[in-house]
Amino acid sequence: MPLVRVDIKKNQDPTFAKRIGKLIYAAMHATIGVPENDNFQILAEHDENHFIFDPVYMGINRTDNLVIIQITLREGRTLEQKKLLYKTIAESLNAELGVRLEDVFINLVEGKPENWSFGNGIAQYAN
């Protein structure tokens, strides 16, 4: 049930953001048990005036190729699963798309199952 948001600077390759999304979904499927077809993503590209970040926060040197990933999902994954997710996403973006590990910024936002409606005005996972 994750909702994935990916934000990047405008890329010359019109398929770049979508390829990032595919790799993120594959990583979520493999590491935190996201079911087949549970794939909802918002992929956004921004110009330099609408994509602001600190290039050295926490001693990590970031470039204009920064990929910001926010995943909203149901609470309940272990710390080990989250760490594996972060590592798998970063390494796959690096291996497949040449994104530097330093340029992969990931934020998880967890919520209760009753906070989701997948359509029809129904809280499908509410008890």
Catalogue the active-site residues.
2
Are 77 and 40 within 8 A, CB to CB? no
